[in-house]
Amino acid sequence: MTDGLESFRAVSYPWRLYSGVDALDQLPTEVARHGARRAFVICGQTVAHRTNLLARLRDRLGAVCGGVFDRMDKDSSYAAVVAATDAARAAGADLIIAVGGGSVIVGARVTAILLAEQGDPFALMTQYPEGQPPVSPRLMAPKLPIVNVPTTPTTAMNRAGSGLRNDQLDHRMEFFDPKTRPVALFWDAEALLTAPLSLARSAGTTTFTACIHAVSAGSANPLVDGDYRQAFRLAGNALPRMVASPGDAAPRIDLCAAAFLLNRAADDGATREGRDRASSAAYALATALHVRYDHVGQGEATSAVTPTAVRMLGAEPGARRMAEALGAAPGEMAPDAAAATAADALAASYRALGMPARVRDLGIPEGELGLVARDTLKNFNANRGARAADHVDRMLELLRACW
């Protein structure tokens, strides 16, 4: 019998994970596993000068520490990545250790790309030909091994895509290379506790939102469905616990696990092409907001736009599943009512965490909403097809509703 049988695929790649108290003690073993003699650390100013993390790394690496670049900035600017690449090349780096949040981890990935590829970075990035779907060039050169030591529960920790801020362009510089996935992850308890609650909450909110979208979408692939459900259970329980007990590393590690499971689901067959309209639109708007405004975090941008996106664009059966997952079972409601119920429950969840649920709460000028809407035009993760002629108008309408 094959009735109801669904076909699915799964892909994996070599990686090791070290989690818990003093997880970084295993770093020398992992570096030696890859034969590295010049391990190069990339971090930001906060990690370098306001925590003991850099000292812990240097202590464990000893003579193998080949150098440090400590100026990776918010949203991984192109200028910072070029500077990191120059510093890593001058140091003779043979392995990269990224220490920090999503911006540092993304910046380290593109550093590895620029170290290896010979072409013009602007030709290596995703291209947006007029009237056609975007194209990500294949980046074939071998890349240095990367070890990630996240300080926030970011979904960037083990992905292959990267986006850089470049104020000279009308969109981010986007790169995709599976060879920039980390060979190892360290969820070190002390490292995760170096992030202030506001930053950890912002990253955790982004992860939680991705989890609620995932469990709402569902999947006939049993591997994906299992990861979705477990990721949502972990994130939904851990995020309020972290806010209530910011000195406890356990919920931060649970949020890291949720982010990891979301990414593993993508390897097991979940694709961004399967995103519904609400999650795609919210992602595009949130990215535009936090990249354009330095004071806006990704989590804050996400929480400010997602409830309204769900209310206006949510559809059955996803909206009903979202409402049920959030404990607001809609019962026998019409699709619009189910979407409204899910949106209200999600907004209440954000407010309970101390996160904004409207764009007006982000402290940006209402008159600049048109600029934000235009910034969504080229976003590979949100739209891999050709851009519709009325795309900007529709995004501006949604953004005004989010206000």
- Residues spanned by the domain of 179: 16-192
Does residue 315 have a pLDDT over 70?
yes
The CA distance from 302 to 285, in Å, is 8
CB 164 within 8 A of CB 81: yes
Quote the pLDDT of residue 1.
Answer: 52
Tell me, yes or no, whether 159 and 35 share the same domain: yes
- The predicted model gives 183-197 an average pLDDT of 98
Inside any domain, residue 6: no
Tell me, yes or no, whether 338 and 376 share the same domain: yes
Tell me, yes or no, whether 23 and 172 share the same domain: yes
Tell me, yes or no, whether 206 and 185 share the same domain: no
Tell me, yes or no, whether 73 and 152 share the same domain: yes
Quote the pLDDT of residue 274.
Answer: 47
Tell me, yes or no, whether 244 and 386 share the same domain: yes
Taking CB atoms within 8 Å and a gap of at least 24, the contacts of 120-123 are 121/78, 121/82, 121/173, 122/173
CA 372 to chain centroid: 20
Q: How many structural domains are present in the chain? A: 2
Does residue 384 have a pLDDT over 80?
no
Tell me, yes or no, whether 367 and 314 share the same domain: yes
Specify which of 197-201, 220-224, 334-338, 385-389 reaches the highest per-range mean pLDDT.
197-201
Distances (CA, A) of 318 to 271, 313, 378: 16, 11, 26
Inside any domain, residue 197: no
Tell me, yes or no, whether 183 and 296 share the same domain: no
Inside any domain, residue 5: no
Count of alpha carbons within 13 angstroms of residue 52, beta-carbon side: 8
Q: Among 169, 192, 215, which residue terminates a domain?
A: 192
Tell me, yes or no, whether 165 and 252 share the same domain: no
Quote the pLDDT of residue 387.
Answer: 77
Q: Which residue has the tokens 């799964």?
A: 10
The CA distance from 286 to 157, in Å, is 19
Tell me, yes or no, whether 177 and 287 share the same domain: no
Q: Among 159, 192, 225, which residue terminates a domain?
A: 192
Could you tell me the CATH number of the domain that includes residue 321? 1.20.1090.10
The CA distance from 67 to 74, in Å, is 21
Which of the residue ranges 115-119, 128-132, 319-323 would you say has the lowest mean pLDDT? Answer: 128-132
Q: Looking only at Cα atoms, what is the longest distance across the chain?
A: 66
Tell me, yes or no, whether 243 and 102 share the same domain: no
CB 300 within 8 A of CB 269: no
Inside any domain, residue 162: yes
Which of the residue ranges 4-18, 53-67, 218-232, 305-319 would you say has the lowest mean pLDDT? Answer: 4-18
* Strand 65-69 relative to strand 39-42, pairing: parallel
Could you tell me the CATH number of the domain that includes residue 125? 3.40.50.1970
Taking the model in full, what pTM does it have? Answer: 0.94
Tell me, yes or no, whether 211 and 171 share the same domain: no
- The structure tokens listed for 234 are 């972990």
Q: Among 171, 192, 213, which residue terminates a domain?
A: 192
Quote the pLDDT of residue 2.
Answer: 63
